[in-house]
Structure 1
């Protein structure tokens, strides 16, 4: 997949819990108005029924603004809402498996990289973009292995031509450094979901990336 077919620069990962009492649908819409290019719904602790309901509500907003909706690791939800894609990690369904599934095989598939050795496997080769997770340690995702840092992002950039989406404690003060290290896109959770003004937070982040 070429970078031109992954033109996104600011990627919001959202869950209802991460919005800390705010309406997650309003946060998502404000984030889009501020400049978010793609949204992933990650509901690790929700039942499939609850996840599906949230996805159905969210896709109404993303489609209104022509923004791709990615579903985190739930094939059933991704199929039922006809999401733009699905994102998986090492303990989820594999990209190779997803490429064989009807209604999923032609969608965008993202794959989280936690070890350099993953860059050489078949999963990476069939993925559309790679999630570099986490760049910096974060309280919103505690089950990860490697803290890549800026050097890790640069190393991965030298080893693959795949679009790189960096996530993990990225905010206004370090977003530009992560892009300079080789990431094509910045993914955030708290920097927008926990912000008092999500639209302003997204706008400022997008401008920082575009500098």
Structure 2
């Protein structure tokens, strides 16, 4: 089994998909706000388009705290010298991805959508797992079943590897996500659809910080 890279998965994990202000501006906003994880997810784009965006964002993020991750394609991640790659359940196995990209210190993430997938993922030694969708989201053509706060929180709290909660997360429900045990959260629409991405990021960070004193999730049991 491959040795996982020890990482600190905390706070905002920003996923860029068709941002209305452009990839470069969103990446610059992420760097300005100290976002530590930035993923490029361009599902419908040509390979050369993804490479071009990846290279631009690599230039913007190089030498900063912001780590660049490419979605799905380890070849593109390697070509643009990203910091990592994020794989879905239908992508190549993690062991194969590591074999194709053996450079030291690269980060390999894996999406999970159930307790069973999260448990199996541990055997693949991912550096982190995505857990979701927490809420319904229109960002996937064929969405996975919604986990909900309770189930997502249970998976996160039981995980032996770093986790990032994902799926339908925005300022209106972010405090609840943290209150249910999340240490990191992924956002797509709340920043990609914002006319001012830096303001949107800072707003999310403020909500997250305000919810920083974790309270136990509300009890669902009846009083005795």
Q: Quick check: TM above 0.5?
A: yes
Structure 1: give runs of 5+ residues left out of the alignment: none
Counterparts of residues 96-111 of structure 1 (less than 5 Å): 96-103=95-102, 106-111=105-110
Query: Paired residue for 2:45?
Result: 46
Structure 2: give runs of 5+ residues left out of the alignment: 211-224
Going from structure 1 to structure 2, the CA distance change for 1:201 and 1:210 (only over 3 Å counts) comes to same
8 Å CA contact retained: 1:137, 1:169: yes
Instruction: Using the TM superposition, give the Cα deviation of residue 106 of structure 1 relative to its aligned residue in structure 2, in angstroms.
Output: 4.4
Deviations 1:134-182 (A, max 9, x none): 1111111232322111111222024212211111111112111111111
1:73 aligns with 2:72: yes
8 Å CA contact retained: 2:4, 2:126: no
8 Å CA contact retained: 1:119, 1:160: yes
Deviations 1:63-111 (A, max 9, x none): 1533100000111111111111100111111212223224457411111
Query: Paired residue for 1:157?
Result: 156
8 Å CA contact retained: 2:5, 2:106: no
Deviations 1:1-49 (A, max 9, x none): 999722431111003x2x13x2221122123323422100011111211
Instruction: Using the TM superposition, give the Cα deviation of residue 205 of structure 1 relative to its aligned residue in structure 2, in angstroms.
Output: 0.7
User: Per residue, is there more helix in 1 or in 2?
Assistant: 1
8 Å CA contact retained: 2:110, 2:121: no
Cα RMSD for the two superposed structures: 2.2
Per mean C-alpha deviation after superposition, the further-off stretch among 156-165 and 78-87 is 156-165
Q: Distance in 2 between matches of 1:166 and 1:48?
A: 28
8 Å CA contact retained: 2:31, 2:65: no
Counterparts of residues 57-72 of structure 1 (less than 5 Å): 57-72=56-71
Q: Distance in 2 between matches of 1:31 and 1:75?
A: 23
Q: Distance in 2 between matches of 1:136 and 1:161?
A: 23
Query: Paired residue for 1:146?
Result: 145
Q: Distance in 2 between matches of 1:3 and 1:51?
A: 25
* Partner SS for 1:66: coil
Count residues in correspondence: 208
Instruction: Using the TM superposition, give the Cα deviation of residue 192 of structure 1 relative to its aligned residue in structure 2, in angstroms.
Output: 0.8
Query: Paired residue for 2:15?
Result: 13
Larger radius of gyration: 2
Q: Distance in 2 between matches of 1:42 and 1:93?
A: 16
Q: Distance in 2 between matches of 1:44 and 1:83?
A: 17
TM-score with structure 2 length normalisation?
Answer: 0.84
